Amino acid sequence: MSQVKTLNEFILDKQHDFPFASGELSRLLSDIGVASKIINQEINKAGLVNILGAAGNENIQGEEQQLLDVFADNKFINAFRSGGEVCGIASEENDDFLPFENESSRNGKYVVTFDPLDGSSNIDVNVSVGTIFSIYRRISTEGPAQLEDFLQKGTEQVAAGYVIYGSSTMLVYTTGKGVNGFTLDPGIGEYCLSHPNMKAPEDGRLYSFNEGNYNTFSTGLQKYCDWVKEEDASTGRPYSCRYIASMVADIHRNLIKGGVFCYPATAGSPNGKLRLLYECNPMAFIVEQAGGIATTGHERIMEIQPTELHQRVPALMGSKNMVGKVLEMINQYD
């Protein structure tokens, strides 16, 4: 039987590659793993306990918070606040960033931005949801986090990743040296390396667009949606539309099978729907590290200078040649 490598063993091995590393990033990644296991347990039994449905509040983006959004947000905040490595966080569910004032964390080296539960409209119907996170080194020199610590370009990410609570639960992350995926073994309660060095296929036959919004897409995107449906054996068309409406699950599938995901600007959402700091940047880091492309359609997502915590940007990411084809249509028609 081949040797199983747990997430913590893997993180420690990587830490040994850097003789002067202090271990804080390793501890932080491992804290994320622990918090996600607690959330995983709660999601697994969500239909049994009274945790499905709306929390009765709206977040700053005017979206109805689900009970599990709030639960997951609190679990991660508590893990980060007590871990000592993080001096503050920003999340989808909090209007403003949270600077940590407690003695053990206020001088932590890092800040984290995260979407505690992505695709939360899918929870009630037992479809995959996720958690997305980005880790940045702080800019401010000491004390609780300040706004400037969060408004950093995606190129400054030290690490990023996601957890997918699906038919199995996986944690996938990068520190800028490739992408590795770990599957939670429920028997031993540990994430184990199952997808080493993940690479996005350069081509694919899956497109993930919410085509219900077709009439509000730009001409270039409409032309692409028409093109994928044409019969052409040489390019394997028609392609298949796969859209879960959980960004994590849509991008995870496309990373493995090859595909393109797009949430563009629409008439109703002129900057798109997805948030730069805790959805687009972390997923872009993963996609690029797996050999794919992540763009707004006009610029590289990770090079955008954020101006607001909850800023939205159009997102187009996935297999290199498939994103390339969409860009060709955008350049030709828009």
Does 92 participate in binding ligand FBP (rule CB under 6 A)? yes
Tokens (6 digits) for 130: 């996720």
Q: Please report whether residue 311 would count as binding ligand FBP according to CB under 6 A.
A: no
Cβ proximity to Mg ion, 25 vs 302, nearer residue? 302
Which stretch in 48-56, 71-79, 87-95, 157-165 sits in contact with Mg ion by CB under 5 A? 87-95
Burial pattern 277-287, b for ≥16 Cβ within 10 A else e, equals bbbbbbbbbbb
Stretch binding ligand FBP (CB under 6 A), from 28-36, 114-122, 194-202, 234-242: 114-122
Of 31, 73, 85, 92, which one interacts with Mg ion (CB under 5 A)?
92
Q: Which of 245, 298, 299, 308 binds ligand FBP (CB under 6 A)?
A: 245
61 vs 197 by CB, closer to Mg ion:
61
Among 83, 84, 108, 119, interactor with ligand FBP by CB under 6 A? 119
117 labelled ligand-binding: yes
Counting contacts by CB under 6 A, is residue 73 touching ligand FBP? Answer: no
Q: Is 152 in the site for ligand FBP (CB under 6 A)?
A: no
At its nearest, how many Å lie between Mg ion and the CB of residue 182?
Answer: 21
Cβ 117 to Mg ion shortest distance, Å: 5
Which residue from 118, 149, 190, 288 is in contact with ligand FBP, where contact means CB under 6 A?
118
Least CB distance from residue 173 to ligand FBP, whole Å? Answer: 18
Near ligand FBP by CB under 6 A: residue from 152, 246, 289, 296: 246
Q: What are phi and psi of 114, to 5 degrees?
A: -155, 155
- The residue among 256, 138, 281, 276 whose CA lies nearest residue 204 is 256
Query: Considering only residues 175-214, where is the footprint of ligand FBP by CB under 6 A?
Result: 210
Residue nearest to Mg ion (CB): 118
What residues line the site for ligand FBP (CB under 6 A)? 63, 92, 115, 118-121, 210, 245-247, 263, 273
- Numbered residues of the known binding site for substrate: 118-121, 210, 243, 273
